[in-house]
Copies of this chain bind each other. A is one copy, B any other.
């Protein structure tokens, strides 16, 4: 008999009560009366379980089934009866139940509340819980929605390198990559480690961003994007930082700040719409169990015209705010989360783009504005999160980029290829980056980044 997915059963408005189906899945719960037992089976295809009714007297092996441990693997054959008045829309009346694989009575995720900390220690088992099932299915759907939106808008996906000899930001701690035997390091005449003996014949690190490489491809394909892992070796123990995370980095030639604001707003709304259509059950569950404002926030995002305001105006607003900030506000500061959330949650009550930041707090590659004080940078601040997207117009003028490379004390040799992109085909171009996990926190309501990453890496933790 062909296997039927639980997802398929839920997608059918009515069921033929005369036809037998076969379902395979895992036993989530079982409760028995003398005559009848109720089994909840989840087959992985859908967040919801299917209820199976077992007549204890009719099935030869009913005793064995009743003793089965949670998460035993089970095959059920039976007819599907619609139950419009019950909690679940249908149930399977089992004609046979087979135990395919065993489980154990000390299964660590018995049905009860667990702390997030405990569940992180069970990262191999936690996707079996409703919350993490919902979160990680949404993670998959958001990935696909991002690809679909960008591909349908003629963006070319480019896999930028993970191992790199350069440091995009010119700042931030990086992970070293080496094959040298740490207990037996080759040394040069000065007694220092001889990197020419290393695998790549030079020191290498894990990438912090694919942007610079993506720029090279944007100057060939016009619109491109990266979507891959990035790394920060910062010893920070917040709920918002992981050592390994994923980034989406669209990069567009013949595009300015307005263009990337338009594109990123469209992208974000596309993702939200995609989830509202394709993750109804998951959002419903998270709205109940995790964040009661989740669905309202997503509906509002879908319908809002995102606000746009300059950094200078935003500073004015903050200086005249009717609330005290822990971090004092003056022109020139980098906005802190409290400022970002005040702007998006209190002032605009929707996502807001802040443009044209002071050049001293931004990266070397951002295009200097005519005022020589600010750069054509933009951040998108969203309620509940703060900064979700950061982008800029890139400095396309050869002389200016070389000045910036010198000013930021970057090694001109290492950035020669990057400068050459300006030497051969100087083009207005812009791009933005989305921290994928930040986006997931926004669309799931989950407040700790460790809980939107399948197997999170943070200082001191590389388990699994």
Contacts and interface: CB of A to CB of B under 8 A. Distances in A.
Contacts of A292: none
A338 interface: no
Interface string A434-464: 0000000000000000000111010111111
Contact of A193 (B143, B183, B217, B464): B183
Interface string A299-337: 000000000000000000000000000000000000000
Nearest to A235: B199
Contact of A217 (B136, B173, B202, B219): B136
B159 A453 contact: yes
A244 interface: yes
A5 B243 CA distance: 40
Interface residues of A, number: 105
User: Which residue of A24, A125, A218, A243 has the most chain B CB atoms within 10 A of its CB atom?
Assistant: A125
Contacts of A220: 44, 127-128, 132-133, 136
A32 interface: no
Nearest to A137: B156
Contacts of A424: 71, 103-104, 107-108, 125
Contacts of A218: 44
B127 A72 contact: no
A417 interface: yes
A454 B161 contact: yes
Nearest to A202: B462
Contact of A425 (B71, B163, B175, B253): B71
Contacts of A365: none
